[in-house]
Amino acid sequence: MDILVIIFILFGLLFFIGGAVGIIRMPDFYSRLHPAGKLDTLGIMAVVIGLAIYNLHHFDTLSVLLSIKMILIVFFVFLSSPTATHSIVDAGMRAGLRHWTQKQRKE
């Protein structure tokens, strides 16, 4: 059981690290939103599922309820985080921000 928890949390942390590095290293606005929207969502899912399993050590109604609430948090983050990213990209496109190309790097 504990090994499963550790695997889940490490998996999530790996994605979080990827997201953090991506936000810093990516070249422009749109590509930076990509790790922010995707990797963080998957990272939070893995970490919270790990914590929810860990919470079930004392198996009773209260802890099951708490785990369900944790999974609900993941569900809502899963819904809202990509939507927020989508709307930010949408706003960027409407404001007329050009996306990054290979040409700009050479200049």
Residues that bind another protein (CB under 8 A): 76, 79-80, 83, 86-87, 90, 94
Q: Which is nearer to another protein, 6 or 79 (CB)?
A: 79
Q: Which is nearer to another protein, 80 or 101 (CB)?
A: 80
DSSP string for 52-100:
HHHHTTS-SHHHHHHHHHHHHHHHHHHHHHHHHHHHHHHHHHHHTPPPP
Question: C-alpha distances in angstroms, 29 versus 8, 19, 103, 106?
Answer: 30, 14, 16, 18
The least CB distance from residue 91 to another protein, in Å, is 9
The least CB distance from residue 77 to another protein, in Å, is 11
The least CB distance from residue 44 to another protein, in Å, is 17
Q: Which is nearer to another protein, 7 or 90 (CB)?
A: 90
